[in-house]
């Protein structure tokens, strides 16, 4: 082997930027106070600045790490030639996707968001292009078995730390609620905030360092199948013991985070694993049966600790699956939602509830109330308190108060959890949002999920409103991370039902990676990514379905394959985020590289053996 090749193949430090992305970046939790201006301020909750702990600095270090990785690959090409770049069909969908990311940003109405990303997310054009760059770099820097071990070692190092933090959170010992933990994540100028700092996650919930239980679910949907596969297929006793402990830690976090999306992705990965190693399963069925018993005991134990919460999450997952397949009917709670309709037309407003309709209009200083049949409703006004009593027993639960808002006459209406504020000016009625701004009530286009809006923690509602938007992004998307700007945020009746009365909630993500891509960067970019995933799936299936897993490379390859499938399965219910996505893209690049190694191993030696056979045969003839 030449010195040139040995440098390319064996210098582990070439992989340091990728190791940083796998081991360190997911662990970053540090306060960044981000001033909100322009569209980010208009679309957010009314705060002038956002206190970000989980995403901003991850975004920064993703860009730094991938920048370093690109420099490393460029130096390799510079010193050792362009032939070190693998030829690959995967580059076509990668290039198409990257092109439409740039094009969608260029044509976006929200360029500032498209470039750097939305509040709390920061997955703009720079980060999306960085994902493609890290995929390309991983595919071309990983050359041999040692590289696979180095990157998996880095991944497991970070995963162990995340897992330990997660177990602590599940048991009620959250490091980020301790004085020590707060001192780690607060800059010196903000240490005085420590006493009042609270993360809004309940006990027996795992968010680790990944921002939310859903992203822990996506992460563990990769890590649990990955470690389990290596445990099952490893030959050495000490490795089996090591992977057993790692798998148990990942399993606790996979289940303990209570993410149903993660559960779905993990189960999908396990099913694919059973298919890929079917011969191994049949030969060792007793061990697999024992493994499922251990998993069942783990579910039982975690459910006991959480006082039944884990069981309720699993039950709701099964229930939602029944609704999707049609085996469960519509949710009758929609008909009982307190807000059934809300309309404003000039100086007239109409409120519809399940039991009655209230209409009111303004005429100068006079407010007139009517029922649905335009029958007048008598009122009694208390000057000192500004309260208006409706003299009709049907409206006894209404609390109406006249006052001022933004130096203008206003009417507040309350009934149960329903609370509405109206501005009354110039014989016109306007609805005020939670930021004191007048907002329009817009007609909303819907598709599917009628009566099933609460499916998947209101994902059915989001999807029913998001899918119709795809017809506007068939070619160019709205721009990276601009989902919040185009979702019908003024669908107050729909939001009231979907979010238990919180009609002002900002819907900033589709909770579906594929919808996210289709809307933000366009349907063509989505097709490009899907074709990339399908190509990897097909090639992996062909390689592993009949593999005997006699070497580490094939064992690592199938483990990475099921991990990728786990993430893509969870992605039907979770979107992409900087906390987890870099790990996925590196694993995908690693999986493609491993497949390339196996293809070279499967085909090249046969050719070499054939040529050697011919040479040997000729020598024998000559010697004779």
Per-residue confidence (pLDDT) for residue 86, from 0 to 100: 85
The reply to whether 490 falls in a domain is no
Phi first, then psi: give them for residue 382, nearest 5 degrees.
-105, 105
Q: What does each C-alpha distance from 298 to 271, 335, 512, 547 come to in angstroms?
A: 19, 39, 29, 31
Least Cα distance to 124 among 139, 108, 136 occurs for 108
The reply to whether 614 falls in a domain is no
**Is residue 317 located within the same domain as residue 383?**
no
Per-residue confidence (pLDDT) for residue 354, from 0 to 100: 93
The reply to whether 478 falls in a domain is no
Q: How much of the chain, in percent, has pLDDT values that exceed 70?
A: 93
**Is residue 339 located within the same domain as residue 418?**
yes
**DSSP category for residue 376:** B
The reply to whether 375 falls in a domain is yes
The reply to whether 488 falls in a domain is no
Q: What does each C-alpha distance from 472 to 107, 313, 460, 477, 486 come to in angstroms?
A: 13, 36, 20, 8, 11
Q: Which residues pair with 34 in a beta bridge?
A: 50
pLDDT at 284 over 80: no
3-state secondary structure of 419: strand
* Residue 111 burial class via C-beta count within 10 angstroms: exposed 0-12, middle 13-18, buried 19 and up: middle
pLDDT digits (tens, 9 = 90+) for 500-531: 989 999 999 999 999 999 999 999 999 999 99
Least Cα distance to 323 among 461, 499, 215 occurs for 461
265-291 mean pLDDT? 87
pLDDT digits (tens, 9 = 90+) for 47-105: 899 999 999 999 999 999 999 999 999 999 988 888 888 889 999 999 999 999 999 99
HSE-up (13 A, CA, CB side) for residue 189? 3
C-alpha–C-alpha distance, residues 547 and 541, integer Å = 10
HSE-up (13 A, CA, CB side) for residue 311? 10
Residues 6+ apart with CB under 8 A from 123: 59, 117, 480, 481, 576, 577, 578, 581
Lowest mean pLDDT among 53-62, 280-289, 336-345, 421-430: 280-289
Q: Enter the tokens of residue 497.
A: 């039902």
The last residue of one of the domains, among 382, 415, 439, is: 439
Per-residue confidence (pLDDT) for residue 469, from 0 to 100: 97
Phi first, then psi: give them for residue 390, nearest 5 degrees.
-85, 125
C-alpha–C-alpha distance, residues 24 and 479, integer Å = 29
pLDDT at 470 over 70: yes
Q: Which residues pair with 389 in a beta bridge?
A: 380
pLDDT at 622 over 90: no
Least Cα distance to 165 among 151, 155, 150, 175 occurs for 175
417-428 mean pLDDT? 90
For the chain, how many structural domains are there in total?
Answer: 2
Residues 6+ apart with CB under 8 A from 621: none
Q: Which residues constitute the domain of residue 566? A: 3-322+508-607
pLDDT digits (tens, 9 = 90+) for 294-319: 888 888 888 888 888 787 787 777 77
324-339 mean pLDDT? 69
**Is residue 153 located within the same domain as residue 285?**
yes
pLDDT category, 323, cuts 50, 70, 90? low
The reply to whether 371 falls in a domain is yes
**Is residue 85 located within the same domain as residue 219?**
yes
Model pTM score: 0.91
Per-residue confidence (pLDDT) for residue 218, from 0 to 100: 97
**Is residue 140 located within the same domain as residue 191?**
yes
Which has more pLDDT, 298 or 113? 113
Per-residue confidence (pLDDT) for residue 603, from 0 to 100: 60
Per-residue confidence (pLDDT) for residue 235, from 0 to 100: 86
pLDDT digits (tens, 9 = 90+) for 31-42: 999 999 989 998
Q: Decide if 233 contacts 550 (C-beta within 8 A).
A: no
Highest average pLDDT, of 92-101, 275-284, 383-392, comes from 92-101
pLDDT at 404 over 90: no
pLDDT at 329 over 60: no
The last residue of one of the domains, among 392, 413, 439, is: 439
**Is residue 277 located within the same domain as residue 388?**
no
**Is residue 260 located within the same domain as residue 343?**
no
Which has more pLDDT, 497 or 605? 497
Q: Decide if 116 contacts 122 (C-beta within 8 A).
A: yes
The reply to whether 223 falls in a domain is yes
pLDDT at 321 over 90: no
C-alpha–C-alpha distance, residues 381 and 417, integer Å = 23
Which has more pLDDT, 457 or 536? 536
**Is residue 47 located within the same domain as residue 187?**
yes
The last residue of one of the domains, among 383, 412, 439, is: 439
455-470 mean pLDDT? 94
Which has more pLDDT, 291 or 395? 395
pLDDT digits (tens, 9 = 90+) for 533-588: 999 999 999 999 989 898 999 999 999 999 999 999 999 999 999 999 999 999 99
**Is residue 193 located within the same domain as residue 308?**
yes
The reply to whether 489 falls in a domain is no
**What DSSP element (H or E) covers 380?**
strand 379-382
pLDDT digits (tens, 9 = 90+) for 483-498: 999 999 999 999 999 9
Share the mean pLDDT of the chain. Answer: 89
**Is residue 387 located within the same domain as residue 525?**
no
C-alpha–C-alpha distance, residues 57 and 122, integer Å = 9
Q: What is the DSSP annotation of 556-623? A: HHHHHHHHHHHHHHHTTT----TTTHHHHHHHHHHHHHHHHHHHHHHHHHHHHHHHHHHHHHHHHHHH
pLDDT at 4 over 50: no
**Is residue 269 located within the same domain as residue 407?**
no
pLDDT digits (tens, 9 = 90+) for 218-248: 999 999 999 999 999 998 889 999 999 999 9
**Is residue 290 located within the same domain as residue 362?**
no
């Amino acid at each position: 082997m030449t010195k040139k090749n040995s440098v390319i193949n064996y210098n582990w430090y070439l992989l340091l930027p990728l190791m940083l992305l796998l081991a360190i970046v997911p662990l970053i939790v540090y306060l960044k106070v981000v001033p909100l201006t322009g569209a980010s301020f208009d679309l957010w909750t009314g705060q002038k600045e956002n206190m970000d702990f989980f995403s901003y600095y991850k975004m920064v270090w993703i860009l730094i790490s991938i920048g370093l990785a690109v420099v490393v690959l460029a130096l390799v090409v510079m010193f050792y030639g362009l032939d070190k770049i693998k030829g690959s069909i995967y580059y076509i969908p990668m290039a198409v996707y990257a092109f439409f990311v740039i094009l969608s940003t260029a044509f976006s109405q929200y360029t500032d968001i498209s470039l750097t990303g939305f509040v709390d997310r920061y997955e703009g054009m720079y980060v999306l292009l960085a994902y493609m760059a890290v995929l390309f770099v991983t595919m071309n820097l990983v050359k041999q078995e040692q590289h696979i071990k180095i990157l998996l070692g880095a991944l497991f190092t970070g995963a162990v730390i995340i897992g330990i933090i997660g177990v602590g959170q599940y048991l009620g010992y959250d490091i980020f609620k301790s004085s020590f933990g707060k001192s780690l994540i607060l800059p010196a100028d903000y240490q005085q905030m420590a006493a009042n700092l609270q993360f809004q996650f309940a006990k027996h919930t795992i968010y680790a360092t990944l921002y939310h239980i859903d992203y822990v679910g996506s992460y563990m949907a990769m890590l649990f199948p990955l470690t389990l596969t290596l445990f099952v297929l490893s030959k050495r006793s000490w490795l089996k013991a090591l992977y057993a402990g790692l798998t148990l830690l990942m399993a606790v976090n996979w289940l303990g985070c209570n993410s149903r999306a993660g559960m779905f992705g993990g189960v999908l990965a396990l099913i694919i694993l059973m298919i890929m190693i079917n011969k191994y399963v049949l030969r060792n069925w007793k061990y697999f049966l024992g493994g499922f018993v251990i998993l069942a005991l783990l579910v039982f134990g975690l459910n006991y600790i959480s006082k039944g919460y884990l069981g309720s999450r699993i039950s709701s997952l099964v229930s939602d699956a029944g609704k999707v397949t049609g085996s469960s009917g519509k949710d009758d709670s929609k008909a009982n939602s307190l807000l059934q309709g809300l309309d404003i037309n000039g100086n007239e407003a109409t409120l519809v509830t399940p039991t009655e309709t209230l209409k009111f209009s303004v005429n100068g200083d006079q407010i007139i109330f009517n029922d649905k049949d335009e029958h007048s409703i008598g009122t009694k006004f208390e000057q000192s308190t500004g309260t208006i009593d409706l003299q009709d027993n049907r409206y006894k639960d209404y609390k109406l108060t006249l006052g001022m808002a933004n130096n203008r006459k206003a009417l507040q209406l309350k009934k149960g959890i329903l609370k509405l504020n109206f501005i009354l000016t110039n014989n016109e009625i306007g609805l005020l949002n939670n930021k004191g701004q007048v907002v329009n009530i817009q007609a909303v286009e819907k598709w599917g999920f009628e009566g099933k809006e609460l499916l998947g923690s209101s994902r059915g509602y989001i999807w029913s409103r998001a899918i119709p938007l795809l017809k506007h992004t068939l070619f160019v998307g709205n721009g990276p991370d601009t989902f919040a700007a185009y979702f019908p945020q003024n669908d107050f009746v729909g939001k009231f039902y979907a979010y238990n009365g919180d009609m002002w909630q900002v819907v900033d993500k589709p909770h579906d990676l594929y919808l996210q891509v289709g809307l933000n960067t366009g349907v063509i970019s989505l097709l490009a990514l899907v074709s990339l995933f399908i190509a990897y799936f097909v090639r992996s299936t062909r390689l592993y379905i009949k593999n005997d897993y006699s070497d580490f490379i094939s064992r690592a390859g199938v483990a990475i394959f099921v991990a990728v499938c786990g993430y893509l399965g969870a992605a039907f219910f979770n979107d992409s985020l900087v906390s987890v996505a870099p790990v996925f893209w590196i694993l995908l690049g690693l999986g493609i590289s491993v497949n390339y190694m196996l293809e070279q191993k499967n085909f090249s030696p046969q050719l070499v053996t054939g040529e050697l056979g011919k040479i040997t045969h000729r020598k024998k003839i000559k010697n004779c």
